[in-house]
Structure 1
């Protein structure tokens, strides 16, 4: 694994766990999802799903990655994953997406906590204990410090892993997932950026 990807994963560990980078509310990380409008110099313009456009300053310390699709069958007992999920009709958690972490990132953001990928969404970062094939995808039994969860992963749920990216990948129209803090003059300072690459958009 590249040094850049290792550093990016250490930042992702903080953001997935919902940990603030500072005590003040203005320094609390914000997750931004949307499409790139433009990228020039160090300035990234993103049109958010909420409808507004925000300015994100890309710094030397900003970690930039992409994702690539992997198969649901690649998730085995012993894998370490992050799964965003919502309760199904029977109360069972159903995955909206799954991120399979590289082995070097085991332990990243471990736990179960609220997420913002839709109403009643949670995030579980945990070790896969068992994988059971069902009629509607696969059931993953996940264990983390303090608890366990069983999450159903439908066959159509995006399953991805992190790969390196460069600023050349920051092209207009590409989807991005950004973790940033409020900076100067209403802009944001980017901490972590995941950009669409080879047609695979960040699902988190």
Structure 2
């Protein structure tokens, strides 16, 4: 492969991932967009059959120009001020927010989907895409100070919280048994389609 093509490929990858992750915090209130989490059962032509986490089956048509990505483990200790992250969290009993997972965005994707939104990972969960302004050790784990749209939020990240970042994958990785997360578009007839899939390829289940 020509070295001249590498920057272009990297740019296309970042663009595709940005499009995927820009939707990771938002599901249309009228269900025009549906987030599918589950395990691949089969790939029949351009239709990906998924057993969802709820136990139902979802058939998702893969659009042309499909972008497939995966997640790999990252380290909480490596998160530093200036990093851009997406943190799914729930309210803590003693106040504040406690992280359920942390996604460290590649540097080229800083600013993607910035804000804090209701999320569907767990009941009452929120997704916050923000810049880390401070990262300090806490009694257990770390505390991140996140800034977004002129606002600030402190986030407790307990030890053992899944921390991942995005890496490239291919349609060949869409195999039976692989966990996936898909932000799909729902047509008027109820059918689902997508141009972006995140799949487990290295034993790291997408925690988002």
Per the normalisation by structure 2, the TM-score is 0.90
The residue aligned with 1:198 is 202
The residue aligned with 1:77 is 81
Aligned equivalents of 2:150, 2:20: Cα separation in 1: 21
Q: Which moved more, 1:179-188 or 1:130-139?
A: 179-188
Aligned equivalents of 1:60, 1:158: Cα separation in 2: 32
Check if 1:6 corresponds to 2:10.
no
Gaps of at least 5 residues in structure 1 are none
1:26-54 Cα distance to aligned partner (Å, 9 max, x none): 6x221110000011321100000111101
Check if 1:114 corresponds to 2:122.
no
The residue aligned with 1:15 is 23
State the 1:171 CA deviation.
0.9
Structure 1 pair 184–145 and aligned structure 2 pair: CA distance change class (3 A): closer
1:108-145 Cα distance to aligned partner (Å, 9 max, x none): 11011100001110011100011110121000000001
Q: Which of 113, 117, 132 matches 2:136?
A: 132
Contact preservation (8 Å) 2:49, 2:59: yes
1:67-87 Cα distance to aligned partner (Å, 9 max, x none): 000111111111000000001
How many residues align structurally? 200
Aligned equivalents of 2:147, 2:199: Cα separation in 1: 29
Corresponding residue SS for 2:202: coil
The residue aligned with 1:34 is 38
- Give me the CA root mean square deviation: 1.8
Q: Which moved more, 1:10-19 or 1:194-203?
A: 10-19
Aligned equivalents of 1:19, 1:92: Cα separation in 2: 24
Q: Which of 97, 119, 134 matches 1:93?
A: 97
